Amino acid sequence: MTAPPPAQVPPGRYAYGDDGVAIERLLLLAEIFEPATREFVASLPVDDPEVVLDLGCGPGATTALLAERFPEARTVGLDASSAMIETARTGLGDRASLAVADVSSGRLPGAPADVIYARLLLAHLPRPLDVVAAWTAQLRPGGVVALDEVERIVTDDLISREYLGAGHGTASRPRHGAVRRPDARDDDASWRL
């Protein structure tokens, strides 16, 4: 069982670290989440984006899905960890640009963007609502911020149940949505998270 994260993690530092075990764990998670993420990314209502950002890209599994979905775009993966970025670079080759960056404040490298995507990142950020608002301000007209998170985990696995303090069942349910720029038309409201 993975140990719970420490109570205090310095800003920009991933709670589970970035050693080989942490990277392996994220690659395993990526396999589990791939079908839901692929479906979500396919549904994003963006035509011919020029710039696609993957925030907190980790070892690059999500960056690969974005590059596949938007082959004509410049896809950029950003992560605070240089070890994550090196792993992503090895896996992605020239399919994406990658850079070490703290995405919780300031201008995002590559912005303004047509798609700003983040999976499993919000829980690691200080003041996530403020941070998402700042990302939204860095969209190009018609762009979307796409957030891919877990709403709850329900499992029959005893160790996982003890860890989660949760009920039982078999489903793990992803929750995701996208927000448009604040100046989007009213009929875009269905894309609010």
Ligand X SMILES: C[S@@+](CC[C@H](N)C(=O)[O-])C[C@H]1O[C@@H](n2cnc3c(N)ncnc32)[C@H](O)[C@@H]1O
Q: Least distance from C-beta 181 to ligand X, angstroms?
A: 22
- Select from 122, 188, 150, 112 the least CA-distant residue to 29: 150
* 135/179 with CB nearer ligand X: 135
Strand 139-153 versus strand 113-119 pairing type: parallel
Q: By C-beta, is 78 or 184 nearer to ligand X?
A: 78
The continuous run of DSSP H or E covering 57 comes out as: none
Backbone angles phi, psi at 81, to 5 degrees: -100, 125
Shortest Å distance, C-beta 84 to ligand X: 4
- Cβ proximity to ligand X, 54 vs 114, nearer residue: 54
Strands 172-180 and 139-153: antiparallel
Two tokens at 149? 């998170």
CB 187 → ligand X: shortest distance, Å?
Answer: 30
CA proximity to 122, closest of 109, 133, 131: 131
What's the min distance (Å) between Cβ of 141 and ligand X? 25
For ligand X, the closer CB: 25 or 161 = 25
> Contact residues for ligand X (CB under 6 A)?
12, 14, 18, 26, 30, 56-58, 61-62, 79-81, 84, 102-104, 119-121, 124-125
